[in-house]
Structure 1
Amino acid sequence: MMISQLFKGYEYEYQWIPCTSILFGIVTCKLVYDSSHLISATCFKHYSNFPKLKQIEWNNRAISTLHAIFSTALSIYLAFWSDLYSDDLQRGPVLYRSSNLSTFVLGVSVGYFLSDLAMIFWFYPALGGLEYVLHHFLSMGGLGYSMLTGLGQFYAYMVLLSETTTPGINLRWYLDAVGMKKSKSYLVNGVAIFLTWLVARILLFMYVFYHIYSHYGQIKQLPDLGYFLILIGPCILGCLNMMWFTKITKGMIKTLTVKHD
């Protein structure tokens, strides 16, 4: 009963949700990093033989994998399963809808991107180059704006759905790290990455652009910053996705050709 009352009070004090959710995301990243180090050192014989920087990347990818699973599950629920962003005109414009849960989830993701960006800068360029920095800043800016204002959250969740590809990419890195690059699992993983990337970062973004076109009347009523983020952000992220998709496609073709030979 007391816990229920505390949670209701937390929901009532809406201004606390962004701050606490970001903090929750940052603390969770730290806990996952430390847990990954302890578990991996015990359960994976290769881990202890890795150089320090490779161990750091191993643990960093554990964080991004957990965030990807969390953000994908909640994005699917909020954007498609719940009726929060449905085209029900009686509930008002879809771009102006938000809830305590949707704001909290965005805050957790902002906390993750802050943590990951800090690690990228600290170990630059070992954990990612300029394209990763640009991707994180754009994602964090869009998510943060939607979290703080409650505007355009539907598009924020469309961006988060692109995280669906992260577990497969991380698994590929793990397979390579433990010497399984020539295994059947590595081949299957490459095909899976190609398919998930095609769906989550190419076809889904086409749907986003269609949604932007069909709801432009609502978008042009947003404040200037929101208008800019919704129109420009997906375009830049879409270009990055196409650039990476080209590399993924070439790599998959090369791998399949080698296996065929």
Structure 2
Amino acid sequence: MESFSPLVLSIAATSFVTFQCLFHFVSPWISAQFFPGYHRLSPRHTIEWNSRTVSTLHALIVGLFCLYILLHDDAVNEDPVWGDPSLVKINVAMTCGYLLSDMLLICYYWRAIGDKFFVIHHLAALYAYYYVLSIGMLPYFANFRLVAELSTPCVNQRWFFEVLGYPKRSLPNMVNGIAMTASFFLVRIAVMPLYYSRMYAVYGTEPFYRVTFGGRCAWMGPSFCLDIMNVMWMHKMARGCIGVLRSPGKVNVEKLQNGKVH
């Protein structure tokens, strides 16, 4: 069995502790300072608020780092199966620390944010990332998958607006809805041809056959399943976005500006 490098373990551990601190201390303090409605949230919503705040921060850090790697890491782009995974390992290690932190919070606050789907998702992701962090295989594809995190902030923002009482047809909600649909399409749907063309290009090559059977299963199976779900979610999201845009009578945003809804 391959072992993890001290650097990978250090980054994952630091990430875990950092995201725990953000959840328990930073998010509650900042939210209380800048969002008056935070004080009126129920205990359950307060927990989920802090969880989604941490999720948004993780998505922005990891997603932007992914874009940098895709644009500037020549080693990974030229050899997507066995290219130098140094930068990808840093990004994946941060994500693993976040996933472990989030799983701990989900289990501890199960009544508030417990979700079997998220536990399964996190475990499947950790299984796939094991091969990247320990063996260094498939760095391009692992990094490419993390670009999807850039759609997370708008999804979380939709929940923030809802729990704070923003009407669905208010301007902030509608703008975020359009941004959410567009970002979801760009980072999850529009990139599919590029992802699978690279997968097809390496299939059957010598580097491909050096990938272990477990690595292939962790790579191909989840990719197909996840993208089927992405297409289904995109269909629902697009229908909802079009429905809101076509519906008459947008709610005036003055109520929000006057402080009646926080």
The normalised TM-score by structure 2 is 0.85
CA contact (8 A) 1:17 1:103 kept: no
Could you tell me how far apart the structure 2 residues matched to 1:227 and 1:177 are?
41
Matches of 1:134 and 1:100, distance apart in 2: 27
Larger RCO (CA under 8 A, 6+ residues apart)? 2
Distance 2:238 2:108 in 1: 31
Q: Given the alignment, which residue of 114, 124, 144 partners 1:158?
A: 144
Note if contact 1:106-1:147 (Cα within 8 Å) is conserved in structure 2: yes
Q: Percent identity?
A: 25
Bigger shift: 146-155 or 213-222?
213-222
Aligned to 2:242: 253
User: 1:59, 1:95 → 2: CA distance?
Assistant: 37
For 1:129-187, what per-residue CA distance to the aligned partner results, in whole angstroms no more than 9, with x for missing partners? Answer: 34333332222222232112111011111111000101111111111222223311101
For the pair 1:127 / 2:127, whether they are aligned, the reply is no
Contact 1:194-1:245 at 8 Å conserved across structures: yes
Give the match's secondary structure for 1:95: coil
- Tell me which residue corresponds to 2:218: 229
In structure 2, the partner of 1:144 is 130
Alignment CA distance shift 1:248-1:124 (3 Å)? farther
Could you tell me how far apart the structure 2 residues matched to 1:128 and 1:162 are? 23
Pair 1:168 & 2:157 matched:
no
Paired amino acid for 1:149: I
Of 180, 185, 203 in structure 2, the residue corresponding to residue 198 of structure 1 is 185
Deviation at 1:126, TM superposition (A): 4.2
Aligned length: 243
Would you say 1:209 and 2:200 are equivalent positions? no
Alignment deviations for residues 184-228 of structure 1 (CA, whole Å, 9 cap, x no partner): 110111111111111111122332112111111232331111111
1:48 is matched with 39
How many angstroms apart in 1 are the aligned matches of 2:231 and 2:33? 39
Cα separation, 2, equivalents of 1:162 and 1:128: 23
1:75 aligned to which of 66, 75, 78: 66
**Deviation per CA, 1:72-125, whole angstroms, max 9, x where unpaired?**
1111111222313232xxxxx431123433212211100111111222333346
RMSD over equivalenced CA pairs, Å: 2.0
SS in structure 1 of the partner of residue 81 of structure 2: helix
Q: Post-superposition shift, 1:31?
A: 2.0
Matched-pair contact (CA < 8 Å) for 2:56–2:152? yes
Say whether the 8 Å CA contact 1:25–1:111 is kept in structure 2. yes
Unaligned runs of 5+ in 2: 251-262
Structure 1 residue ranges (4+ consecutive) displaced by more than 6 angstroms after TM superposition: none
Q: Name the structure 1 match of 2:254.
A: none
In structure 2, distance between residues paired with 1:126 and 1:257: 35
Q: Distance in 2 between matches of 1:252 and 1:225?
A: 39
TM-score by length of structure 1 reads: 0.86
